[in-house]
A and B are shown apart, each in its own frame.
Chain A
Amino acid sequence: MSNQSCITISKITKKYKNSATNALNEVDFEINDGEIFGLLGPNGAGKTTLLSILCGLVKASGGGATIFGHSINDNPERVKRILGVVPQDIALYPTLSGRDNLMFIGRMYGLSGAVLKNRVDECLDKFGFDTNANNQVKHYSGGMKRRINLIGGILHKPKILLLDEPTVGMDVQTRTSIIEHLRQINENEKMTIIYTSHYMEQAELFCNRIAIMDKGRILCLGTPQELMIKEERADLEEVFLKLTGRKIRD
């Protein structure tokens, strides 16, 4: 992990049509190259909106961001090639096999021939797939689908990986395994990971730095230890509840 920033977010504001409040309010921070950055917050905090703006799915109402010096507004195509995205929903063709899904995704990022095949084999092997990779995705367990969904985001070796709640709905074993894989990818391939989650304990162990968001604003930002010291709490969950309150969100 270097101290050089790879993503600079400058006063991003987002107001959806027909909405009385802003989804994002002048969000302004940097993410360093090679770090694992956690974006935490209750439902409706603006996490997914921020990720959607970074990967070009949603347009900011104000402000902007640069990714490795490329503006998301002016050069979205270049930015898309740098990013790998793992959507919150399973984004796979159910009647295709896991392998065929990955071959398709790889080709869409410009991989082909032996390079593509070897990369797919390598990733499938790393994430614990064998011949079952040739079965239709509709017959997979939830965990298997999540793993294939995740491989789809890293196949083309992006410099930055955006993960929107990648372990939601998984059992503890699968969740731990996925997190371990992501840590290895981060270390071995020097891939920057930006990750949203509701699992505080996992984020505390996994992330180098964390931003806690609510109502479209960054409430605090730092390493998990820095946040716990600053807010005088024993763990991240307590910090989170102190900052965002205990009221149930819709």
Chain B
Amino acid sequence: MLRLIATFIKEFKILIVDRTGITVLFIMPVLLVFIMTLIQHEAYKSLTQSGIPVLLVNKDNDSLGLAIEKGFSKSSICELTIDKGAQYKTTADIKKKMVDGKFVIALVIPENATNALRNDVEGIMKRLFDKNAAIASDTGKVNIEVVVDPTANRSFIMAITSGLKEYIASIKTKVLFQIMGEKIGKLMNIDQKVNMPDQDFFVYKEEYALREGKTFYQPNAVQHNIPAWAIFSIFFIVLPLGGSIIGERSEGLFIRMRTFPGSYLSILSGKLFVYFLVAILQFSIIMALGKFILPLLGLPVLDIGSHPVALITLTVSLSLAAISYGLLVGTIFDTPQQSAVFGGISILIMSALGGIWVPLNIMPHFMQTISSFSPLNWALLGYYELFIKGGDWHAIQYQVMKLFIFFVSALLISYRVYKFKTRLN
């Protein structure tokens, strides 16, 4: 025990005076989380949250214009500004405001659009009841102008134009039935006006696949980036840990250690324990950042789920996997340079494959298959279960198991390599 404590004190003292190590372990991860979360916050917001500024210039002021107004007012994705044509008289006026960044998309419903629609529908009805009736000319068409900010997200533009088409189709159906009702009434000598119900027949209900008893939580930049970059940072322990192991071996310290009574493993355990605590501290700092600091900058508060034991188990497994990888790299390579280059690049590759940089669902299928071999991916999926899907221990048990197997395997391989390198000739 004394040997373990001695190594712990020694490693701790070495670490606190190592400015580069402290920067790599604590300062860089915090900066990384700050920058990546803030950058990705806008991207997530445009896809998932409200507040996209939309201008609706409604010069119609009849059924069609009012239906579109009503439809977009109910929409959760846009912040609607309605103008009756008083302020924005021309397209140039709209473009000027759009260039200034006031709106992302603008819809212009022309005057008499509803009348034009009615005329069009009446023409269709006429042809239905009288085959010799003339086909309506182009003058009956309604030109709805859509002005778009060229930098706007394409999926958002698609959502708005789809909504517009939906509202037009809906009002066109209503007009169609109204006119058809009037025509049939006339033919059957029934003087009764048909009132179409204002409410939609089909009601869409969005459901989220959640664990039983859990409420919906909207994924956002914070929920993804905080665990993702915490995992990445913890795995970067490979640089100082690998360097420390190699340093000891190359500076003659290793010979002295092997002449100490007792097993070298107890010395190594003390070293690994310090780095284990570093990993836990890194994770705690990054979580605190998401919980208390980022919300001050207008970002959503990090939700860490409601299963602290599962969270601790996953984080402990992740930390063990990371330090065992550092040990492996430090044991295999002979110089700090080799260790730093291989360790750094291998973590970048594993993080890219693991969905840290780019969400897994936009990767090609074969890449998604490869990603399932990255320990960073196992940890990330575990945190998604806890933070987004409201999962508990059962939901993360396979991820924990995989990380633990990785830890044990890396230890065993390191031991074999160590034995091979220090074999008594």
Contacts and interface: CB of A to CB of B under 8 A. Distances in A.
Interface of A: 16-17, 55-59, 77, 80-81, 83, 85, 87-96, 100, 103-105, 107-110, 112, 136, 152
Interface residues of B, number: 25
B255 A94 contact: no
B277 to A, nearest CB: 18
Given A80-B260, A91-B251, A107-B5, 15 more contacts: A56-B259, A58-B424, A77-B261, A87-B255, A90-B252, A93-B14, A95-B14, A96-B14, A96-B17, A100-B10, A100-B13, A104-B6, A104-B9, A108-B262, A136-B17
B259 A57 contact: yes
Contacts of A83: 259
A91 B256 contact: yes
B43 interface: no
B174 interface: no
A108 B260 contact: yes
Given A108-B260, A152-B256, A58 B3 contact: no
Interface in B4-19: 5-7, 9-10, 13-14, 17-18
Contacts of A92: 251, 253
A109 B261 contact: yes
Please classify the interface of chain B as helix (H, G, I), strand (E, B), loop, or mixed, using the class held by over half of its residues.
helix
Given A17-B425, A87-B255, A105-B256, A93 B10 contact: yes
Nearest to B266: A108
26 contacts: A16-B425, A80-B260, A80-B261, A85-B255, A85-B259, A87-B256, A89-B251, A89-B252, A91-B251, A91-B255, A91-B256, A93-B14, A93-B253, A96-B10, A96-B14, A100-B10, A100-B13, A103-B6, A104-B6, A107-B3, A107-B9, A108-B261, A109-B260, A110-B2, A112-B2, A152-B256
B220 to A, nearest CB: 42
Contacts of A152: 256
B267 interface: yes
A57 B3 contact: no
Interface of B: 2-3, 5-7, 9-10, 13-14, 17-18, 251-253, 255-262, 267, 424-425
A85 B256 contact: yes
B13 A96 contact: yes
Nearest to B255: A87
A100 B13 CA distance: 9
Given A91-B251, A152-B256, A58 B9 contact: no
Contacts of B6: 103-104, 107-108
B255 A89 contact: yes
B127 to A, nearest CB: 91
A60 B6 CA distance: 31
A31 B360 CA distance: 69
Contacts of A108: 3, 6, 257, 260-262, 267
Contacts of B261: 77, 80-81, 108-110
A236 B255 CA distance: 31
Nearest to A84: B259
Contacts of B3: 107-108
Nearest to B258: A57
Contacts of A104: 6-7, 9-10
Nearest to A162: B259
Contact of B252 (A59, A87, A107, A112): A87
Contacts of B258: 56-57
Contacts of B257: 108
A77 B256 contact: no
Contacts of A59: 424-425
Contacts of A56: 258-259
Contacts of A109: 260-261
A112 B2 CA distance: 8
A96 B251 CA distance: 14
Nearest to A80: B261
Contact of B255 (A17, A57, A80, A110): A57
Contacts of A100: 10, 13
Given A56-B258, A107-B5, A95 B17 contact: yes
